[in-house]
Structure 1
Amino acid sequence: MPSIGNISLPDFPLLLAPMEDVSDPPFRYVCKQNGADLMYSEFISSEGLIRDAIKSRQKLDFSEFERPFGIQIFGGDEEAMAMSARIVDTVQPDLVDINYGCPVKKVVCKGAGAGVLKDVDLMVRLTSAVVKSTSLPVTVKTRLGWDDNTKNIEEVAERLQDVGIKALTIHGRTRAQLYKGEADWTLIGKIKNNPRIQIPIFGNGDIDSPQKALAYKNKYGIDGIMIGRAAIGYPWIFREIKHFFQTGEILPLPSIEERVEVCRTHLRKSIEWKGDIVGIFEMRRHYTNYLKGLPHIKDYRTRLVTVKTKDEVEGILEEVKIAFAGMVPERPMASFSSDQLEECAY
């Protein structure tokens, strides 16, 4: 079984990807309920933490139910990254993760996220600064390289291991690809099979079914899989993969009754964490995915994103459950525009 420092994980763990404006505590809660083994905060700016920015500080929130849990930071300055790691230490997560994969322009232009892929020496210095500043295990999430001409992940993996990281997650695309085309797992498998690499290697990119998860596990030999977009509006993906690995059987898709119940749980947790106004407002981005695949759902969805009270939302969800009773929608693919994906998933 893979381990990250002193964190023991189950055989072939399933990780929930950190996604900006998605992977908040309410979303993480329903994913944990459905089998996610390791989760992370939304990524947090090191500069924001040091300035005591309210939004950055709020992202440090997590519950004991979520453990093992990692807090992900990003930045391009060694001192700021070291200081933010010390701040993270104070809330006692299980690990600190560094983001070198976010392709968003506003992050890359600051020399952070995937922007660091253009300067491996800087990446090593930043990572070393974090490792030296925390008592927690440090892990990294990154991509294959900046573009097709600079796929430097093999060098990156060895050098980051040498400065003390305890696990590496690799998204099988370059920064130039953003989320276009298919993820290339060939180099991920090559790194896992490099005899110099002794830390767990987790793969990320395009896993959206139990069959694909098992095929990639067997083909590339990785230690676990990180799932992002496929879990948006569909937290059942984790339990489906686990069941398929254990039995070779495909679980029945969740009924409309179960979809509505999990959506309600997500809503209630959102209100608990953010309050009525913000909790209801920020939940609106999730209804499309929870209800995708239902015929003539547009009117219900339009009402869900316009009402302003919990009771009104609950009432519409009950109407949906009754109107579509007995229906089993197909597994959805997350409905986010390309711009939204650039902002939220890395």
Structure 2
Amino acid sequence: MVKIDQITLPDFPLLLAPMEDVSDPPFRAVCKDNGADLMYTEFISSEGLIRDAIKSRQKLDIFDYERPVGIQIFGGDEEALALSARIVEAVNPDLLDINFGCPVKKVAMKGAGAGVLKDVDLMVRLTAAVVKSTTLPVTVKTRLGWDDNSKNIEEVAERLQDCGIKALAIHGRTRAQMYKGEADWTLIAKVKNNPRIHIPVFGNGDIDSPQKAADYKNRYGVDGIMIGRAAIGYPWIFREIRHYLNTGELLAPPTLEERVEVARKHLRKSLEWKGPIAGINEMRRHYANYLKGLPNIKEYRNRLVTLKTMEEVEEVLDEVKEKYNGFVIERTAIELINYHEKCPV
């Protein structure tokens, strides 16, 4: 078992990464169904929470079936982060995570997210302010450093642990890399193997198959892995990894029926949480992923992205299920998209 303060997770837990405009409650619901052990919300601006911004406040929505679940905040001001931590505590998540890893220009260039990597002393002050302001377990997600000349993650890990954080998730790239090149897990392993480090260390970056998850588990010795882009449109990645770790065998890819039912549940949760207009509109980007691998599916996809009611969408999904009844979808490689290119922040 792995423990984050008083939170007990299974051996080698699989975490859903906090992804802006992705890790909302509807998406988290289908990931939880498929084996995510710990999930995080989209990141929330500390300034937005303090201003009572509607979008920031809505991101605080968590549900009992998601637990354990963490809320992630970001910002570059000690007082604002501390105050937002107290606001987060009021909705009773299982833990509070600080984002020191978001590479998006609008965040990093304002001295938040990965922008804090340029000033380790500031990172320490921000973390200490949050830890002192809440009774929740505090964790951090970050990157190796700002660029190749400042890969300071070993120092960062020690100093943040000294501040009182209870776990650390590390993405194996610098901010300068964004999502280019291959994630370097060797430095993540150095942090994990540092005799001074006694908190759980989770690796993140490029995990896109059960085989790679098992390989990285054995090669780098981390306490668990955090999965982000590979879960977009493919929440089954969690159950497939867990099955492979337990048995050494690959699960068959999800059937047509499973794909349609996940799309249906995602749609219903989306309408429940976002309302009839936003729920329908924002669900449209997911259909292509859920129906990937079906031949000549373009006609149905084109219809799905124009429909305006849940009933109409459900009818088309039923048509898809009937038309492709018995079709076996072959396994294809998961595409790790650079979702930040379309990130609204």
Is residue 18–residue 345 contact of structure 1 (8 Å, CA) maintained in 2?
A: no
Partner of 2:340: 341
Q: TM-score, normalised by structure 1?
A: 0.97
> C-alpha separation between the residues in 2 aligned to 1:166 and 1:135?
12
Q: Deviations over 1:219-241 (max 9, x none)?
A: 00000000011111111111111
Partner of 2:306: 306
Partner of 2:116: 116
User: SS at 1:73's partner residue?
Assistant: strand
Partner of 2:331: 330
> C-alpha separation between the residues in 1 aligned to 2:344 and 2:57?
20
> C-alpha separation between the residues in 2 aligned to 1:16 and 1:48?
23
Dislocated runs of 4+, deviation >6 Å: none
Is residue 27–residue 266 contact of structure 1 (8 Å, CA) maintained in 2?
A: yes
1:181 offset after TM fit, Å? 1.1
> C-alpha separation between the residues in 1 aligned to 2:112 and 2:262?
35
Is residue 18–residue 40 contact of structure 1 (8 Å, CA) maintained in 2?
A: yes
User: SS at 2:42's partner residue?
Assistant: coil
Aligned positions of 1:15-34 closer than 5 A? 15-34=15-34
Is residue 288–residue 335 contact of structure 1 (8 Å, CA) maintained in 2?
A: no
Identify unmatched segments of 5+ residues in structure 1.
Answer: none
Is residue 100–residue 140 contact of structure 2 (8 Å, CA) maintained in 1?
A: yes
Partner of 2:42: 42
> C-alpha separation between the residues in 1 aligned to 2:177 and 2:319?
42
1:331 offset after TM fit, Å? 4.0
Partner of 2:127: 127
> C-alpha separation between the residues in 1 aligned to 2:159 and 2:180?
28
> C-alpha separation between the residues in 1 aligned to 2:12 and 2:336?
28
Partner of 2:256: 256
Q: Deviations over 1:141-161 (max 9, x none)?
A: 000011111111011000000
Q: Deviations over 1:142-192 (max 9, x none)?
A: 000111111110110000000100000000011111111111100001110
**How many pairs align?**
344
1:270 offset after TM fit, Å? 0.7
Q: Deviations over 1:298-332 (max 9, x none)?
A: 22111111111111111111122222222214245
Is residue 209–residue 334 contact of structure 2 (8 Å, CA) maintained in 1?
A: no
Q: Deviations over 1:47-77 (max 9, x none)?
A: 0000000000000001000001100000000
Is residue 104–residue 340 contact of structure 2 (8 Å, CA) maintained in 1?
A: no
Q: Deviations over 1:223-273 (max 9, x none)?
A: 000001111111111111111111111111111111001110110111111
Q: TM-score, normalised by structure 2?
A: 0.97
User: SS at 1:42's partner residue?
Assistant: strand
* % identical equivalent positions: 76
Q: Deviations over 1:108-156 (max 9, x none)?
A: 1210000000000000000000000000000000000111111110110
**In the alignment, is residue 193 of structure 1 matched against residue 204 of structure 2?**
no
Partner of 1:81: 81
Is residue 16–residue 226 contact of structure 2 (8 Å, CA) maintained in 1?
A: yes
Partner of 1:56: 56
Is residue 85–residue 133 contact of structure 1 (8 Å, CA) maintained in 2?
A: yes
> C-alpha separation between the residues in 2 aligned to 1:18 and 1:73?
10
1:37 offset after TM fit, Å? 0.3
> C-alpha separation between the residues in 2 aligned to 1:268 and 1:87?
29
Change (3 A) 1:334 1:283: farther
> C-alpha separation between the residues in 1 aligned to 2:344 and 2:38?
17
